[in-house]
C-alpha cells in the first residue's frame, strides 16, 4: 500500500481508474455508479476506528476466513503481471515487444487471502 500524505492509496486508485476508463464504453449507468460507490467507500477514512486498530476480518463460527461476494466483486481481475520475451517471426525478424498479461485466478487469490487471515488470527 502506498499512501499519499493524506492517507489515500493513490496507486490503487490510479490502477482502478485506468481500468474503468479503459472499459468505460462497456459500462451501464448502474455498473458505473457501483464502481464509483465502491471507490468512494474504499477511499473513505475509518474515522470511527482509533489509531492503530485493525479492521475486523470476516470469519465464520469456526474462525475460518470468509470471502464475501462483495470482496470477489471488488477484487476479481485486480491482480496480474506482465511477461515479455523476444521472438522471431516466420521471416526471421526479431520482435522484442511481445508482452502477455497474466491474471491471477480468483481461486488462488481466495486461497492466499484465507491463509493471510489464518495467520492474522493466529498472531492476535
What pLDDT is attached to residue 123?
58
Task: Kindly report the average pLDDT of the chain as a whole number.
Answer: 79
Q: Which residues, in sequence order, are bridge partners of residue 88?
A: 94
- Domain spans, the chain: 1-49, 54-124
Cβ burial, residue 102 (10 Å; 0-12/13-18/19+): exposed
d(Cα 42, Cα 83) in Å, to the nearest integer? 30
What's the pLDDT tens digit per position in 1-32? 567 887 788 888 888 899 899 999 998 998 89
Instruction: State pTM to two decimals.
Output: 0.43
Cell of 18: 485506468
Q: Which residues, in sequence order, are bridge partners of residue 3?
A: 9
Amino acid at each position: 500500500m502506498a499512501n499519499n500524505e493524506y492517507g489515500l492509496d493513490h496507486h490503487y486508485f490510479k490502477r482502478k481508474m485506468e481500468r474503468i476508463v479503459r472499459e468505460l464504453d462497456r459500462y451501464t449507468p448502474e455498473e458505473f455508479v457501483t464502481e464509483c460507490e465502491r471507490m468512494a467507500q474504499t477511499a473513505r477514512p475509518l474515522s470511527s476506528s482509533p489509531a492503530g486498530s485493525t479492521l475486523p476480518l470476516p470469519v465464520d463460527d469456526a474462525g475460518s476466513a470468509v470471502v464475501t461476494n462483495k470482496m470477489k466483486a471488488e477484487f476479481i481481475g485486480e491482480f496480474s503481471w506482465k511477461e515479455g520475451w523476444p521472438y522471431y517471426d516466420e521471416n526471421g525478424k526479431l520482435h522484442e515487444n511481445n508482452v502477455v498479461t497474466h491474471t491471477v485466478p480468483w481461486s488462488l487469490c481466495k486461497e492466499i487471502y484465507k491463509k493471510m487471515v489464518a495467520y492474522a488470527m493466529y498472531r492476535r
